[in-house]
Amino acid sequence: MRDILPPESGRWRQFTGVFADVVERAGYGQLMTPLLEDLGVFTRIGDATDVVTKEMYDFVDKGERHIALRPEMTASVCRAFAEQRPTTPWKVFYSGSNFRYEKPQRGRYRQFDQVGIEVLGADDPNLDVEVIALAWEFYARLGLRQVTLIVNSLGEPDDRARYVEALLAHFTAAGAALSEQSRATLERNPLRVLDSKREIDQPLIAAAPQIADFYSDEAAAHFESVLAGLRSLDIEFAVEPKLVRGLDYYRRTIFEFQGGTLDSAQNALGGGGRYDGLVEALGGPATPGVGFALGVDRTLLACDDEGVFPAEPVQLDVFVVDVTGGLEAVTITSELRAAGFAADRGYDNRSMKAQMKLANRSGARIALIVGDDELAAGTVVVKPMHGEGDQVAVDRSEILTHLASLSDQNRTNHE
Ligand code: HAM
């Protein structure tokens, strides 16, 4: 788990701000759910996934309730829907921390953040297209260029079940030709064997049955509509028949966004899909759902690698240097901040030299200096820090008007 320090933390806030801007324009409202849920909320994600069986931070609280820190947010959204029963389609977005007991490495952390959207109560393939298009737009807003989209469909639940059976038969017949780890995976979740990166498994995976051969007409038509919609928006994608995703709740459309710069194990920047049975599993009415979550930590690493969306420290307008005890700086910074200027100051009544050094380092455009002479005369010295004009003494009551005129001058100089 990591500490996020300024100015990097400011970038996180901006990141969620841009995300909210993109999705709020599309009718999504923010949903805030608790960090903790009853364990059962998450076990219904699927008891065959590592996220649930191996990686959950679960414990018994003082009231003997078995609870867990959320490993993702889709289950919480569906739980909230089942309890609140809002009108549909319910379009929500979220952002926040999740917890998975994984082996930490670059791009993989035990506490990580996601932003995401979910839509409950509509089956329309155009909604799958909208959801994918919004993630696409968001990546464009960040400036990322090396993101690729892969899509697949897992078919209807029956299609998926028949496919899983066929996979089980195929891989079981392979016997010891399959790696030991994949044989263990096969027992728990045959679909996930397709995810194996082990060399020895690759020929068997290549020869495995294809999900597309198991689609019902309905599932095939739904998927075709999604692909047609993506084409109509000129969103580039590749259909990847081996894409299965790590959570059990998916039905029909699934998709993943991959970055171009991270290690292949961590290159999934985000993913999502349809999960038409999840609300029901959580005690609500049968309700279709679709959405995605994007990993904040990983996406920012991809931004670093591509040199886009840099952290930008807050630009200070004014730094107040007061060598008369510090009380002048108290009132001046307060007035400046109230008037909308970004203002900081030196503390501990340090020497003029020391405070000027701080003013320089702060990046402020202007230093306001109060020495004994200024205090006696009721003035301050206004010193442009970036060579824009000479320093002048200004009456204490004229500071705001003077700074405003400097800003105007600055603007016209740049025009
Ligand atoms: P997920 O694929 O498990 O899907 O996670 C989505 C994204 O969260 C990943 O692509 C990755 O960027 C980030 N992520 C996951 N685990 C970690 C980790 N340990 N460290 C850093 N980043 C991580 C879901 O969570 C689904 N709820 C997505 C969804 C929404 N499906 C439908 N609606």
> Could you tell me the sign of the dihedral formed by the alpha carbons of 165, 168, 171, 174, in that order?
negative
Q: Are 279 and 120 in contact (CB under 8 A)?
A: yes
Task: Report the pLDDT value the prediction gives residue 409, as an integer from 0 to 100.
Answer: 74
Residue of the CA atom closest to atom 15 of ligand 1? 295
Report the C-alpha gap between 185 and 181 in whole angstroms. Answer: 6
Q: Which of 1, 28, 56, 72 to mutate to test the pocket of ligand 1 (most atoms within 8 A of CB)?
A: 72
Is any ligand 1 atom within 6 A of the Cβ of residue 118? yes
Task: Report the pLDDT value the prediction gives residue 239, as an integer from 0 to 100.
Answer: 97
- Phi and psi dihedrals of 341, rounded to 5? -85, 150
Is any ligand 1 atom within 6 A of the Cβ of residue 72? yes
Task: Quickly tell me which residue has 């089980």 as its tokens.
Answer: 168
Is any ligand 1 atom within 6 A of the Cβ of residue 102? yes
94 C-alpha vs ligand 1 centroid, how far in Å? Answer: 13
Q: Which two tokens stand for residue 120?
A: 């409950």
Is any ligand 1 atom within 6 A of the Cβ of residue 271? yes
Task: Report the pLDDT value the prediction gives residue 413, as an integer from 0 to 100.
Answer: 65
- Phi and psi dihedrals of 36, rounded to 5? -110, 145
The DSSP annotation for 145-208 comes to: ---EEEEEE--SHHHHHHHHHHHHHHHHHHGGGS-HHHHHHHHH-GGGGGG---GGGHHHHHTS
172 C-alpha vs ligand 1 centroid, how far in Å? Answer: 30
Task: Report the pLDDT value the prediction gives residue 213, as an integer from 0 to 100.
Answer: 95
In ligand 1, the atom with minimum distance to the C-alpha of 275 is 32
Task: Report the pLDDT value the prediction gives residue 411, as an integer from 0 to 100.
Answer: 67
Q: Which of 69, 97, 114 to mutate to test the pocket of ligand 1 (most atoms within 8 A of CB)?
A: 114
Task: Report the pLDDT value the prediction gives residue 415, as an integer from 0 to 100.
Answer: 60
Q: Which of 98, 131, 278, 298 to mutate to test the pocket of ligand 1 (most atoms within 8 A of CB)?
A: 298
Task: Report the pLDDT value the prediction gives residue 53, as an integer from 0 to 100.
Answer: 85
Report the C-alpha gap between 299 and 144 in whole angstroms. Answer: 9
- Phi and psi dihedrals of 247, rounded to 5? -115, 150
121 C-alpha vs ligand 1 centroid, how far in Å? Answer: 22
Is any ligand 1 atom within 6 A of the Cβ of residue 111? no
Is any ligand 1 atom within 6 A of the Cβ of residue 298? yes
371 C-alpha vs ligand 1 centroid, how far in Å? Answer: 56
**Residue 111 burial (CB count, 10 A):** 14
pLDDT tens track of the chain, all 415 residues?
A: 999 999 999 999 999 999 999 999 999 999 999 999 999 999 988 777 888 889 999 999 999 999 999 999 999 999 999 999 999 999 999 999 999 999 999 999 999 999 999 999 999 999 999 999 999 999 999 999 999 999 999 999 899 999 999 999 999 998 889 999 999 999 988 998 998 889 999 999 999 999 999 999 999 999 999 999 999 999 999 999 999 888 888 999 999 999 988 777 778 999 999 998 899 999 999 999 999 999 999 999 999 999 999 998 889 999 999 999 999 999 999 999 999 999 999 999 999 999 999 999 999 999 999 999 999 999 999 999 998 788 999 999 999 999 998 877 766 666 6
Q: Which of 42, 69, 247 to mutate to test the pocket of ligand 1 (most atoms within 8 A of CB)?
A: 247
Is any ligand 1 atom within 6 A of the Cβ of residue 108? yes
